[in-house]
Amino acid sequence: MVKEIERAGIPVVHMCTVVPISLTVGANRIVPTIAIPHPLGNPSLDAAEEKTLRRKLVEKALVALETEVDTQTVFDK
Amino acid sequence: MSKIKVVHYINQFFAGIGGEEKADYKPEVREGIVGPGMEFNKRFGDEAEIVATVICGDSYFNENLEEAQAEVIEMVKKYNPDIFVAGPAFNAGRYGVACGTIADAVQNELGIPVLTGMYEENPGADMFKKSVYIISTKNSAAGMRKAVKAMAPFAIKLAKGEEIGAPDEEGYFSRGIRKNYFAEKRGAARAVDMLVKKLTGQDFTTEFPMPDFDRVDPNPAVKDISKAKIALVTSGGIVPKGNPDHIESSSASKYGKYDIDGVMDLTEETYETAHGGYDPTYANNDSDRVLPVDVLRDMEKEGKIGELYKYFYTTTGNGTAVASSKAFAAEFAKELVADGVDAVILTST
C-alpha cells in the first residue's frame, strides 16, 4: 500500500515496528514504532505519558515527511 | 501395463452446470470425463485416463470446507486412483482455494500424488504452493490448452514416481525446497562465468534469485507541514466497533474507508481492530495506539498540521495478497489525490 500511495505522487511515511519488512516492501520514509500490537502506544505507561510518547512518534513522522530523501531512510533518531 | 488411473476435480462452471447461481452445487461424482477432462485425456494418450470426475460448486466447497473435503475424499477413494488432478483454476479465487485444499487433503489422507494448476495471484497458489505441486497457468480459461499441455505429462511423471525437475523446468510454483546436486564446475568458476556474462551484457541465470520487489522513488518532501492535509492509512485493521464492512481478520479481500469528521479520540466503545494476526487487546482498548487520531487532532488544533483528512483507510495486512493490497491502495490513492491530500501516515502492526 505504501508503494502505491507513493506511486500516486503523495509522500508517505510508514510507521511500523518491523523495519526490515518495511524496507523489503519498499517504503521510503520509515519511522520505527514501539511494538507490533501497539505501534503507537505503550500500555504499561499511564494515559498521559502514553499520549506524550505517541505525540513524539507522530512528530517524528511529520519530520520525515518534511525531509527530502533520495533513498529508503529510517528516521530512528 | 495398465493405464494410470486419474480422478479429476472440477467446479460447477467447468462441468457446464452453471455459474454463480449454481456455486452451491454439492459434490457429485461422474464416471469418466467431464469438461476439461477431454483435453487431459487427449494429452494423456495411452498412458493415463480419467476414470472419474468429481464436481463441486465453489461456494459449497468454501462454505462447507470440512464436509466438502470429507465427501470428495470418499468419492475419490472409491476409484483408487494413481493420481488426483484438480482444475486448472486459473485466477478464480474460490476455485483455486478449493483445488488447493482438496489436492492437499487427498495427498495427506489417501497418500497419492496430486496436482493442480492456477494463476500466480490466485490466493490458492500462495496458500498451497509449498505443499502441493501447482502448475503456473494463465489467468483465464483461454489458457486451458497450454495449462493442460503442461499438467498432463507432469501428472504422469508424478504418478510414476519419476524424478521431478526444478520449478522453472517443470513449470510449477517453487515450493521453497532446495536440492543438492553435483555441478560440473565449482562455485567460484560459476560465479566468474556469471560475472563475465553480466559484464559483456549476455543473459545469465542466478543460482540464488532474490524475491522480486519493485521500487518507487520517494516523492519530494512536504514544504510546509503546518498547511498540509494529512491522511491516515493502516494495515492494522482499525475499524468502527462491530466491523461494519466485515473486513476479514486475515487475507483481506477489501479495505474500509471511514469518516472521522469530528472524531477527536478513538475509544474502546467506538473503535476496535479486525486484524487476526496480533493480540488485539491493546488496540481494542485504545485504537489510537494503532491509528493516532487523538494526537493528530491536537496538532490540528495547535496549527502544527493543516488538517487531518476526513476519512481513514484500513485493511488487515496479514496474509493479504500483495496483489490485493496493491489494488486497494491504487484505488484509494486516487481519491486521496483528488481530495488534495498532501501526505499520508501509514501505520502497520
Domain range annotation of chain B:
4-170, 225-347
Which one, of B190, B215, B214, lies nearest residue B204 by Cα?
A: B190
**Any B CB within 8 A of A28 CB:** yes
If you measure CA to CA, which chain A residue comes closest to B276?
A37
What local confidence, expressed as pLDDT, does residue B110 receive? 96
Q: What does the pLDDT look like over B197-242, one tens digit per residue? A: 999 999 988 887 765 557 899 999 999 999 999 999 999 999 999 9
For A63-77, B11-25, B257-271, which range has the lowest pLDDT when averaged over its residues? B11-25
Contact list, A11 vs chain B (CB under 8 Å): 218-222, 342-344
**Which residues of chain A make contact with B346, given a CB cutoff of 8 A?**
1-2, 5, 12-15, 27
Q: Does ipTM surpass 0.95 in this model?
A: yes
- In sequence order, what are the residues at sequence separation of 6 or more whose Cβ sits closer than 8 angstroms to the Cβ of residue A46? none
Cα A13 to chain centroid, rounded: 6
Share of chain B above pLDDT 90, in %: 75
For chain B, give the mean pLDDT: 92
- Could you report the per-residue pLDDT of B105-144, keeping only the tens digit for each? 999 999 999 999 999 878 788 889 989 999 999 988 999 9
| Gap between the Cα atoms of A44 and B295, Å rounded | 19
Place of cell 516492501: A25
Q: Percent of chain B at pLDDT above 70?
A: 98
Count Cα neighbours of B301 within 13 Å in the Cβ-side half-sphere: 9
CATH superfamily of B4-170: Response regulator (3.40.50.2300)
Which residues of chain B neighbour A30 with C-beta distances below 8 Å? Answer: none
Q: Does A49 touch chain B (CB under 8 A)?
A: no
A8 contacts on B by Cβ (under 8 Å) = 330, 333-334, 336-337
What is the model's pLDDT at position B210? 66
The pLDDT of residue B317:
80
**Closest CA–CA distance from residue A77 to any residue of chain B (Å):** 18
Q: Which domain holds residue A33?
A: 2-74
Beta strands (DSSP E) in B87-221 are 114-118, 133-136
**Model confidence pLDDT, tens digit, residues B153-198:** 999 999 999 999 888 889 999 887 777 888 899 999 999 999 999 9
In this predicted structure, the answer to whether residue A47 has a pLDDT above a threshold of 90 is yes
Cell numbers 505441486: residue: B133
- Decide if B61 contacts B16 (C-beta within 8 A): no
Does A61 score more than 70 pLDDT?
yes
What is the Cα–Cα distance from B296 to A55, expressed in whole angstroms?
8
Per-residue cell: A52: 506524550
A10 vs B296: CB contact, 8 Å cut-off?
A: no
Task: Please report residues of A whose CB lies closer than 8 A to that of B337.
Answer: 8-10
Distance CA B229, CA A17 (A): 25
Q: What is the mean pLDDT of residues B245-257?
A: 92
Closest Cα of chain B to A68: distance in Å?
Answer: 5
Reported as a single tens digit per residue, the pLDDT across B28-38 is 999 999 999 99
Q: Any CB–CB contact under 8 A between A70 and chain B?
A: yes
Give the Cα separation of B284 and B278 in Å (integer): 11
Question: How many domains, in total, are found in chain A?
Answer: 1
